[in-house]
Chain A
Amino acid sequence: MLILGCDTSSIASGALIRVPDDAASGAPCAGPVEVLGAFRTEDTRSHAEVMAPGLRDLLAEAGAQGPELGMILTGLGPGPFTGLRAGIVTARTLGWAWGVEVRGAVSLDAVAEAAHEDARRAGHGLLRVATDARRREVYCADYEILPEGYRRVVGPAVGPAAAAGAVLYGEEAAAEESTGTSPLGPPAAGRGAALYPDALVALPGHEADQPLAEDLVRAALRAGLAAAQTDTAPLYLRESDARVPAARKRATR
């Protein structure tokens, strides 16, 4: 089965992946997958520009037709709103036009997928994923490192990088927990670790990890495609900044 993955929660990325047929049944599948093609941007501002042509080229280079796809998997964020929507609406529209099922996955899982093996190798039981939410905040989640694979135990959430523990567990639990482990919480993967070294301890080699479409697909396969969300609503986690206007300013004094 062919899966077209895309994620625009930070940079924009796409991947065309062939998975074993038993994965198509929806059962968990952590074996190797065949990446037929992938692309990613360097910047975080060109999602609406590159997404559709990038995905088109992936299919063309693999000689595949859209309707042959078994699934389109899109990252649901959390991530900056405008870019996030560009990826989700692209996935939804392609799926609609081709008659292909569209499902979604938490974008932070893609970073956990990329980092969990190194976390296990270093002997960590917990991994924090923290991506850039701007405004000195991070999108974050904590993952339990299992003998094989990992499991998201809390998150996703958004909040100040300096208080990621409290953002995920609440003030009290975070204060209690910090007496046992590092006050800065578990080792962190993702751009948040690079941006806020005072607040997060980086898992070496993973402080620049971005959510990637191919890792997103791997993460979804690991959990089983049957478990991937059929609802592709974006994880905004923040309200719009709109405020009901206050009383008008006087024009006269």
Chain B
Amino acid sequence: MNQPHTSAPRTGPVVLGIESSCDETGIGIVAGSRLLTNTVSSSMEEHERFGGVIPEIASRAHLEAMIPALDAVLADAGLGLAEVDAIAVTSGPGLAGALMVGVSAAKALAVATGKPLYAVNHLVAHVGVGLLEGSGLPAPEAGGEGLPEGLGALLVSGGHTEILKVGDITGSVRLLGATLDDAAGEAYDKVARLLDLGYPGGPAIDRVAAGGDAAAFRLPRGLTAGKYMGSAEAPGSHRYDFSFSGLKTAVARVVEGFEARGEAAPVADVAASFQEAVADVVTAKAMLACTENGIDTLLLGGGVAANSRLRALTAERCERHGIRLVVPRLSLCTDNGAMVAALGARLVAAGVAPTGLGFTADPSLPVTTVSVPA
């Protein structure tokens, strides 16, 4: 392949990636570790009045967004379909009906073009996006994998709250911890509703919390009791796991307490205290997971990576523990197709066999399955 840009010393396979696991229809194209285009069409506004993502509404929106998005990426990248070397698609985890639209479209593209198809893991793709040039992790060097030795990822979004250890992005990823109930972003949405702050809750709470006292209310940090934590040598049952349902209920109690006394709840203080509780427990457990599992580079991904307090506290604590923090730019942190393409490009480069056409969407695909085997 020609290398017309001196700033891009290495190009690689051109991969088109499709993401439809939740409410965003994302399609992106990469050439190796270079991002060519990334288009995302979101049905977020249609979910607003429900206070959360409605799977059927998201699925309907994916169907209508798919062809316009395909048109847009090719036009934006100035590429023809024939120039695409491989196709990658999120096959899970995610909402079944939503995944099914992207998976069906990707299979049709693979049939139409005869190009290899990779069914990839949504969560690992969130990490894969960090390998794109300019995203923070070192670009792969010729002859080397370019992946830091002790790489971990903290993924925080409306659908996920996970800590991963990434040995080899194309084959060896381990789940260290995950939420047992709500995702952090979901807790934000629910608390925002409680405080009449609208949807999505993350940005709304972040904004209001800026003027509040984070120490005004002492709210619980889920799964931090000794029996869950144990010690580094003898870890408890949920040392790196999260739970936000108790926190949500605690916030409700605070608000109802004010209501019962006929007083207005101090929204800013409640929002700030809630946000502090989330950021504190998420980063504290992430630091434990890092230091106890040889992780010295941590990638922060997912939509909640936009949250100012989570970013600040993660940065502060990473620095204290000598951990390098990498946060891709926000458009690549939220769900998108470029991350799927980026992981696909790594799989192609590593010579991993494509998935083929026989797979189906798997709403609970484990992170250990980076790409679905044929």
Contact = CB atoms under 8 A, between A and B. Distances in A.
A156 B136 CA distance: 54
A48 B62 CA distance: 15
A147 to B, nearest CB: 40
Given A251-B249, A251-B253, A86 B50 contact: no
Interface stretch (A120-128, A130-138, A207-215, A241-249): A241-249
Contacts of B62: 85
A78 to B, nearest CB: 14
Interface stretch (A20-28, A29-37, A89-97): A89-97
A242 B47 CA distance: 9
B112 A86 contact: no
A97 B97 contact: no
A52 B49 contact: no
Contact of B110 (A48, A52, A87, A234): A52
A82 interface: yes
Contacts of B105: 89-90, 92-93
B44 interface: no
A49 interface: yes
Given A89-B105, A93-B70, A98 B257 contact: no
B45 interface: no
Q: Is the interface of B mostly helix, strand, loop or mixed?
A: helix
A80 B57 CA distance: 14
Interface in B266-323: none
Contact of B60 (A47, A66, A236): A236
Contacts of A245: 50-51, 193
A38 interface: no
Contact of A90 (B70, B108, B193, B257): B108
A98 B50 contact: no
Contact of A82 (B96, B109, B193, B357): B96
Interface in A206-241: 234, 236, 240-241
A97 B260 CA distance: 61
A51 B71 CA distance: 23
Contacts of B49: 244
A205 interface: no
A85 B100 contact: yes
B66 interface: yes
Contacts, number: 117
B103 interface: yes
A250 B111 contact: no
A93 B56 CA distance: 21
A52 B100 CA distance: 12
A242 B54 contact: yes
Interface of A is mostly: helix
A88 B63 contact: yes
B33 interface: no
Contact of B108 (A52, A81, A234, A244): A52
Nearest to A49: B360
A47 B103 CA distance: 11
A251 B59 contact: no
A252 interface: yes
B59 A93 contact: no
A185 to B, nearest CB: 30
Given A53-B358, A90-B107, A240-B54, A97 B81 contact: yes
24 contacts: A48-B360, A49-B358, A49-B359, A51-B104, A66-B112, A81-B59, A82-B59, A82-B97, A82-B100, A85-B63, A89-B66, A89-B104, A90-B107, A92-B105, A96-B70, A96-B71, A97-B108, A97-B109, A97-B113, A240-B60, A242-B50, A242-B56, A244-B49, A245-B51
Given A93-B70, A96-B67, A245-B193, 12 more contacts: A48-B100, A52-B110, A53-B358, A81-B59, A89-B63, A89-B66, A89-B105, A93-B66, A94-B111, A234-B63, A240-B60, A251-B252
Interface of B: 49-51, 54, 56-57, 59-60, 62-63, 66-67, 70-71, 81, 96-97, 100-101, 103-105, 107-113, 193-194, 249, 252-253, 256-257, 260, 357-361
Q: Which 7 A-B pairs have the closest CB atoms?
A: A97-B112, A52-B107, A240-B56, A93-B108, A251-B252, A242-B54, A53-B357
Interface of A: 46-49, 51-53, 55-56, 66, 81-82, 85-94, 96-98, 234, 236, 240-245, 248, 250-252
